[in-house]
Amino acid sequence: MDGSPSAAGPAGPGSPDHEDGSRRGPAHGVLSGLSLRVRYLVRRAEHAPPPPGPFRPGFWRSPLRGPWLTSVFGLVLLIGIPLMFVTGMLSYASYNPDLGRLNDQTPGKGVLGFYLFAWPTHPYWLYRLTQGVHVTLGVVLVPVLLAKLWSVIPKLFTWPPARSLAHALERLSLLLLVGGVIFEFVTGIVNIQLFYVFPGSFYTLHFYGAWVFIAAFVVHVCLKVGRMVGALRSRSLMAELRTPLARTRPEPPDPDGLVPADPAPPTMTRRGVLAMVGGGSLLLLLVTAGQSIGGLLRNTALLAPHNREPGSGPNGFQINKTAASVGVTPAHVGPDWRLEIHGAGPAHVFTRAQLLAMPQHTASLPIACVEGWSTTDQLWSGLRLADLAALAGLPDAGSVLVESVQPPGPYASVLLRGNQIRDPRSLLALRVNGADLSLDHGFPARIIVPANPGVNNTKWVRRLTFRSWP
Amino acid sequence: MSRFVRWYGSSPLHLLVLIASFALTGYAMVRLFALRPLGVVLWFVGAAVVHDLILLPLYSLVDRSAQAVLRHRAPRMPCPPWINHLRVPAFLSGVLLLVWFPLVFALSRPYPEATGLPIDVYLGRWLALTAVLFLASAVAFAVRLRRLRHTDGAGEGRPAPGHGAGP
């Protein structure tokens, strides 16, 4: 039965309880009086019968609920969630938010940006990997998360609602944990489908939400990891995988009250539950991962947002935002288009023909989006950013401001860092896969930098301003 | 120490860890709530409420109802446990929908123009996947039914074979 505190401690409310009247100051007396009163109320609530329905121990009847099953799902999340947190924080760093406001959607981050570093350009597929893992793993963990929450639902209706101050605080932390994890999964999953229903900027909500969630997650792990290890040791996974329905029994009663007091006959084995949940994850992996792997596998991502090529030919690969969707028209990039280059000396102005007449370089690089999808390597050709920096009189430029003809909006201009400028594969691309860039891929000229998040590879570039400082 | 434990309900370490956590939460929440506090609170608490008090009770109820309704249709012949042949494809189809419903129901208005891809393929694909899942489950059930009746017919009087559930 559900009688002991969920907070592990040397003594709980069930321990013998006698008043110690010696050596108390006045403040202590007040506290003690208060504590007595609280304990009296708790005692009364404990002796009062719980309200009917889910608060009664007999309400929850699944014979499979128990610490072992919960711990199996918990272990998967204990591996998956930190991986998602780390890849998420890397994604924030990859925008180089410390370069300036243009790159930073959360300028008020304060100490939460303590770990930021210059995002590297090696290996060139770094962002493709980290963000592909972040998004795909998030989708794949949904069934495990649902199963974990299902397995502990009786705890939501625990009676009395708070047995002690410790229990009350822990339950408040659990609200942040459950609210936080669902908030993070939902905002992430609807954002990759461009379903912008959340209250504010995705970056702000998902970034600060992640910190709220992880604070509660760390507490939860600290308080429960011992119990998880114990529960996992209580049964052998291999034995469970061989146990048929006829021999499926409830776990022995546990102090947390997960095991039902009045179990129904089982309709499913534990291996059946694990197979169903694992099957759900596998199915989601199959219909999602192809959008990050690309090539022929893209077609297997049946339900993923970027599962088909929008066109054919050299410019047929994935588009994040078409020209039309951000208000770029052919008139913006017609014969009057010029590229301005600013730096230490006087400004330079070039037509596209002049740019094409300069020595061209090539680089084979993917487009990788914060939404998790990416393309295989495309063969870009154009001018090295390092050469343009030298042309501007700043061969050791610390940063460059890239401005697009795109009307003002998010990522119409971005800042790139010195290490990105100096990588010989970083280009102001004019052509891709042997053809001129299409309008949707940034004609007349776009940025392409190894390992850079997609939106920082600015399209329809009109001005580059090299600066000596980062 | 023991007085603290009696007063608080757990060890001081428990309290310290929680206070540290709440401090970080507070720091992030001030920033999270900076722009639209009401909307964010509604989303945060709403997320837990919608899952715990709507989605979970709803699917539990559907599961219980399916069992209750179909239990009364007593089979005339021996029948292997069938509920999982309904439960598993419904769960799989359900998680696909839960994750991809904005595309399946074409709710994402910016999608077609932003990506240059039509959005109307998803409903058909999800329905097709659902059909395949239920069909595969039906085939598996038919195979088990056939095997069961074969053994029953061959070995009259033998105890029924113990059958494992699950996919």
**Reported ipTM:** 0.90
Q: Give the closest-approach CA distance of B153 to chain A in angstroms.
A: 22
Which of A169, A271, A319 minimises the CB distance to B18?
A169
- Is the pLDDT reported for residue A5 higher than 50? no
Does B125 share its domain with B92? Answer: yes
CB atoms within 10 A of CB B79: 13
Maximum Cα–Cα distance across chain A: 93
Residues in A 227-286 with any Cβ partner in B closer than 8 A:
244-246, 266-269, 271-273, 275-276, 279-280, 283-284
- Is residue A367 within 8 A of residue A442, CB to CB? The reply is no
Query: What confidence category does residue B156 fall into, taking pLDDT thresholds of 50, 70 and 90?
Result: very low
| DSSP output for A105-166 | S-TT-GGGGTT--PPP--STTHHHHHHHHHHHHHHHTHHHHHHHHHHTGGGGG-SSS-SSHH
Does B91 share its domain with B151? Answer: yes
Residue A351 burial class via C-beta count within 10 angstroms: exposed 0-12, middle 13-18, buried 19 and up: middle
Does B65 share its domain with B134? Answer: no
Given this model, what pLDDT does residue B153 score?
A: 62
- Is residue A75 within 8 A of residue A232, CB to CB? The reply is yes
Instruction: Give A20-54 pLDDT, tens digit per residue.
Output: 334 444 555 565 666 677 667 767 766 778 888 89
Backbone angles phi, psi at A236, to 5 degrees: -95, 130
Does B162 share its domain with B96? Answer: yes
Query: Which tokens go with B123?
Result: 């409903």
Instruction: Give A83-117 pLDDT, tens digit per residue.
Output: 999 999 999 999 999 999 999 999 999 999 999 99
Which strand (E) or helix (H) includes residue A383?
strand A378-384
Angle between helices A270-286 and B83-104 (to 10 degrees): 30
- Is the pLDDT reported for residue A15 higher than 70? no
Domain endpoint, select from B45, B74, B103: B74
Instruction: Give B27-78 pLDDT, tens digit per residue.
Output: 999 999 988 899 999 998 999 999 999 999 999 999 999 888 877 665 666 6
Give the C-alpha separation, A92 to A86, whole Å. Answer: 10
- Is the pLDDT reported for residue B159 higher than 50? no
Mean pLDDT, chain A, integer: 92
Residues of A within 8 A of B15 (CB-CB) are 166, 169
Which of A12, A183, A246 minimises the CB distance to B9?
A12
Does B84 share its domain with B161? Answer: yes
Give the C-alpha separation, A166 to A6, whole Å. Answer: 9
Does B162 share its domain with B149? Answer: yes
Does B62 share its domain with B3? Answer: no
Domain boundaries defined on chain A: 57-286, 324-467
Given this model, what pLDDT does residue A3 score?
A: 34
Residue A79 forms contact with B (CB below 8 Å): no
Residue with tokens 């100490």: A111
- DSSP-based three-state secondary structure for A222: helix
Task: Print the domain residue range for B117.
Answer: 79-167
How many CB pairs (< 8 A) connect A and B?
262
CB contact under 8 A, B84 and A179: no
Q: Give the closest-approach CA distance of A411 to chain B in angstroms.
A: 15
Which candidate in B103, B115, B127 is best for mutational testing of the A interface (most A CBs within 10 A)?
B115
Residue A166 forms contact with B (CB below 8 Å): yes
Residues of B within 8 A of A150 (CB-CB) are 56
Residue A163 forms contact with B (CB below 8 Å): yes
Does B85 share its domain with B155? Answer: yes
CB contact under 8 A, A321 and B114: yes
CB contact under 8 A, B96 and A166: no
- Is the pLDDT reported for residue A10 higher than 70? no
- Is the pLDDT reported for residue A17 higher than 50? no
CB contact under 8 A, B163 and A244: yes
Does B107 share its domain with B130? Answer: yes
Residue A60 forms contact with B (CB below 8 Å): no
CB contact under 8 A, A7 and B99: no
- DSSP-based three-state secondary structure for A297: helix
Question: Domain total for chain B?
Answer: 3
Instruction: Give A122-169 pLDDT, tens digit per residue.
Output: 999 999 999 999 999 999 999 999 999 999 999 999 988 999 999 999
Closest residue in A to B7 (Cα) is A35
Query: What confidence category does residue A6 fall into, taking pLDDT thresholds of 50, 70 and 90?
Result: very low
Does B9 share its domain with B86? Answer: no
- Is the pLDDT reported for residue A280 higher than 90? yes
| Helix and strand numbers, DSSP H then E, in chain A | 12, 10
Q: Domain spanning A324-467: which CATH class is it, in words?
A: alpha beta
Does B138 share its domain with B83? Answer: yes
Instruction: Give A321-368 pLDDT, tens digit per residue.
Output: 999 999 999 999 999 999 999 999 899 999 999 999 999 999 999 999
Does B94 share its domain with B63? Answer: no
Which of B39, B48, B98 minimises the CB distance to A199?
B39
Query: What confidence category does residue B81 fall into, taking pLDDT thresholds of 50, 70 and 90?
Result: confident
